[in-house]
Amino acid sequence: MRDYDAIVFDLDGTLADTMPAHYAAWRKVLDPMGIPFPEEVFYGFGGVPTLKILDILSARHGVAMDIRRVSEQKEDFFAEGLGAIRPIPEVLAVAEAHLGVVPMAVATGGHDRVVYRTLEALGIGGWFGAVVTVDDVTHGKPHPETFALAAQKLGVEPTRCLAYEDADPGIASAKAAGMQVIDVRLLRVR
């Protein structure tokens, strides 16, 4: 007997191996400004919204920028690399096995304009009864709002949801919403 009534998946790093494409987009937007962004620093920001990362980097390096415009540029660069994105097989297999069996949602810190395109690029755009992006919430991860809204849109209590996540802020978000959480970093075959 299952102890959950719905599954809520993060997208970047959970359903889709988008991190290399995100890092390439970050380098394209930050290098011309002279802002260093080593790969280990990038991965340390896993699950943090783009606008917040830009705010932190701007303050850290004393570089004034139009954070919203730079965020849009970064997302445009990311969208250019969508063809290189691949699914994470272990997690995609879970979603496929539950397709049509239990309600499923995506709860991501990504923006609408790239989230839906990413799902379509993977061929899974129609798999989810709800998709919640950073554009749908007031407070991004690690606040529980993203996961709580996904459960609400599915019509399921958050405590009856199983969440799949790959980053500490997302895991904190799902747990704060009351969900059981599987850390997909422990599932991945390297």
Residues 85 and 26: their CA atoms lie apart, in Å, by 16
Residue pair 74/66 in contact (Cβ under 8 Å)? The answer is: no
Give the other-Cβ count within 10 Å of 132's Cβ. Answer: 25
Query: Which of the residues are catalytic?
Result: 10
Residue pair 26/36 in contact (Cβ under 8 Å)? The answer is: no
Whose structure tokens read 């340390």? 44
Residues 83 and 94: their CA atoms lie apart, in Å, by 23
Q: What separation in angstroms does the CA of 176 have from each of 7, 113, 114, 170, 180?
A: 16, 27, 26, 10, 10
Q: What are phi and psi of 30, to 5 degrees?
A: -90, -35
Residues 107 and 124: their CA atoms lie apart, in Å, by 15
Residues 119 and 167: their CA atoms lie apart, in Å, by 19
